[in-house]
Amino acid sequence: MRVGIDEAGRGPLLGPMVVAAVAAPASVFEELREAGVRDSKELSRHRREELYRLIVSKASYVGAVYVPPETIDSVNLNTLERDTFAYLLSRILGILGGVEHVFVDAVGSPRKIVEALRRTGYRGAVTAEPGADRRYVEVSAASIVAKVLRDRAIDELREKYGVRGSGYPTDPETLSWLREAYARSPRQPPPFIRRSWGTLRRLAPGWYRPKMIHGGGQVTLDYFFSKRRLESTE
């Protein structure tokens, strides 16, 4: 059994970050490669949706964690990713058992990612590399799952709140929406905004706040898991 793990939505101003894991035998991942599974950024949204359905139908396990802005504003982002990777791997180990190889798209220290995965008790092979979503079909599959679920979450924000653009701080349409929303409600930010992002300090200073402090330092991911503030989809 092999596992691929990746995320979508690390850098945007709004909405959740989605971390996804896909587990399947090597033969299934080869089948997914032949069907066209590759890095989600190289695919149209329509094609991602098609491949998402194929991945879900073929894989032994597909799981995702939606990390809300409140958590992103409270935990170091690299630590948050590593701990969420480990959480998903622990779920897979508990459900499926024998995993031979884990592939992870690494942002930050690959060594620390491996250490986090080892804390689950896993002793098999780990490949943690930048750009793994382009090199390994296992990670490509996870990137498609994460991106599809993140896109659907943003669609809900568009329908409910009139959000425009991609959500990234370099997107002029997103920044235009942000200015308009701030002008309408300068003292009450919507709950899906990442308030610790520097762009807010410049364009919406009443919404900005630094990383939240709990008990003398940044809170841990375990604190949020204990409070059930992460949503898991499996």
CATH code where residue 207 lies: 1.10.10.460
Residues 8 and 96 in one domain: yes
SS3 state at 8: strand
Q: Write down the pLDDT at residue 97.
A: 82
Residues 133 and 165 in one domain: no
Residues 13 and 121 in one domain: yes
Domain range for 136 is 2-156+216-233
Residues 16 and 131 in one domain: yes
Q: Are 3 and 98 in contact (CB under 8 A)?
A: no
d(CA 158, CA 181): 13
Q: Write down the pLDDT at residue 98.
A: 87
Contacts of 34 (CB under 8 A, 6+ apart): none
Give the N- to C-terminal CA distance of the chain in Å, as an integer: 18
Residues 80 and 128 in one domain: yes
Residues 26 and 88 in one domain: yes
Q: Write down the pLDDT at residue 54.
A: 98
Q: Write down the pLDDT at residue 217.
A: 43
SS3 state at 187: coil
- pTM as predicted: 0.89
Residues 152 and 165 in one domain: no
Relative orientation angle of helices 26-34 and 45-58, to the nearest 10 degrees: 150
Domain total in the chain: 2
Residues 122 and 227 in one domain: yes
Residues 92 and 175 in one domain: no
Q: What angle do CA 76, 6, 26 make, to 5 degrees?
A: 145
Q: Are 32 and 141 in contact (CB under 8 A)?
A: yes
d(CA 6, CA 88): 11
Residues 87 and 192 in one domain: no
Residues 46 and 148 in one domain: yes
Q: E-assigned strands of the chain?
A: 2-8, 17-24, 61-67, 101-105, 125-129, 213-214, 217-218, 231-233
Residues 137 and 30 in one domain: yes
Q: Write down the pLDDT at residue 23.
A: 98
pLDDT (tens digit, 0 to 9) for every residue of the chain, 234 residues total?
999 999 999 999 999 999 999 999 999 999 999 999 999 999 999 999 999 999 999 999 999 999 999 999 988 899 999 999 999 999 999 999 889 999 999 988 899 999 999 999 999 999 999 999 999 999 999 999 999 999 999 999 999 999 999 899 999 999 999 999 999 999 999 999 999 999 999 999 999 998 765 444 444 455 445 444 444 455
CATH code where residue 68 lies: 3.30.420.10
Q: Write down the pLDDT at residue 212.
A: 64
Count of Cβ atoms closer than 10 Å to residue 179 Cβ: 12
d(CA 130, CA 147): 17
